[in-house]
Each structure stands twice: as C-alpha cells, then as structure tokens.
Structure 1
Amino acid sequence: MVTILLFAQLQEDVGQNRLELELEQTTVTKLKETLQEKFNLTQLGQVMTAINEEYALNDDLVNPGDTVAFIPPVSGG
C-alpha cells in the first residue's frame, strides 16, 4: 500500500487530499502515469514530488509502505 498526499489543485481535482493505492515497487514516473490515467491529472508533469518527506526525482523508486506527496508549483507576489 502506498499513501499519496495531494495538495492545492490536485486535491481539488481528485476530491480528497489522500489516496491509498495497492502498488508494487514502481518509479515516480510510473506512479504519475497511473494517477493521470485513473484521475485525469494532467498537471502532474509540473509538480514536485517527495517520498517519505524527502524530495524525489522521476526515476526514484516508490515502495509499498511509502508516503508520496505531490506538491504543485506555488505562485505569489
């Protein structure tokens, strides 16, 4: 089981701030593709990713038991 935390627009698009998915080991890229297909989240290409509270790259591995956070870009002024 992988816990996925969603913030800002991603949370609004899915309608919840947390997902639990039954997944085997995968990469961040594959996880993003899965979420894009399942929830039509087209903006995942521009988000920051963290695995267990540490920033991650698209090639990093996601393992069962991990918590993955997707953090959209923030603008301000």
Structure 2
Amino acid sequence: MEILYFAWVRQKVGQGAETLEPPAEVADVAGLMRWLAARSPGHAAAFAQPGQIRAAVNQEFCPPDHPVRPGDEVAFFPPVTGG
C-alpha cells in the first residue's frame, strides 16, 4: 500500500510517502489511521485528531469507513479551504 502525506500531515510524519503492508485487521481508512498513529511519535502527532484529516483512496475522496486493500494508494491531507 502506498501512503502519501501532504501539507502539515507530511511535516509531522517527516516524509511525503511510504510503502507499507498494514496487518489484515486494518480494513478501512479509520483503521489505517489508528495503525499509522502507532508507528512513530511523528505519526502519532499527525493523526492525533483524525477528524482534522481528509483521505483519498486511489485518488477519490472518501469517508473514514471506506475500505482499504493491499495495493491501494491512500493520501492524507488537511481539509482544503478556499477564499
């Protein structure tokens, strides 16, 4: 699974992307976020407030209960604001 991080999520994690194999019990975006939060202090800081992070799976915006599978590309980023 390719995980991409953008904006302040990237800053807290300390990298823009990583390729990982989450355990089988990680079935959706919310589960992936919980699993990632346990990987390092930077990940924990980035995912401390999951409601402040948006996700896209295979370049499609999705809710936290959206399923994730091996081979997916999952991107995490702050909410987009406009002016």
TM-score, reference length from structure 2: 0.79
Compared with structure 1, are the counterparts of its residues 74 and 55 closer, same or farther at alpha carbon in structure 2 (3 Å cutoff)? closer
- Higher strand proportion: 1
Runs of 4+ in 1 over 3 A off after TM superposition: 74-77
1-structure distance, mates of 2:79, 2:67: 22
* Partner secondary structure for residue 30 of structure 1: helix
Give the number of equivalent residue pairs.
Answer: 76
* Pairing 1:61–2:71 present: no
- Uncovered stretches (5+) of structure 2, i.e. residues with no partner: none
**What's the offset of the Cα at 1:45?**
2.4
Paired residues of 1:5 and 1:18 also in contact (CA < 8 A): yes
TM-score, reference length from structure 1: 0.84
Aligned-residue CA RMSD (Å): 1.6
Once the two structures are superposed, residues 18-71 of structure 1 have per-residue CA deviations (whole angstroms, 9 ceiling, x without a partner) of 011112361111001011222212133211110000111111100000000111
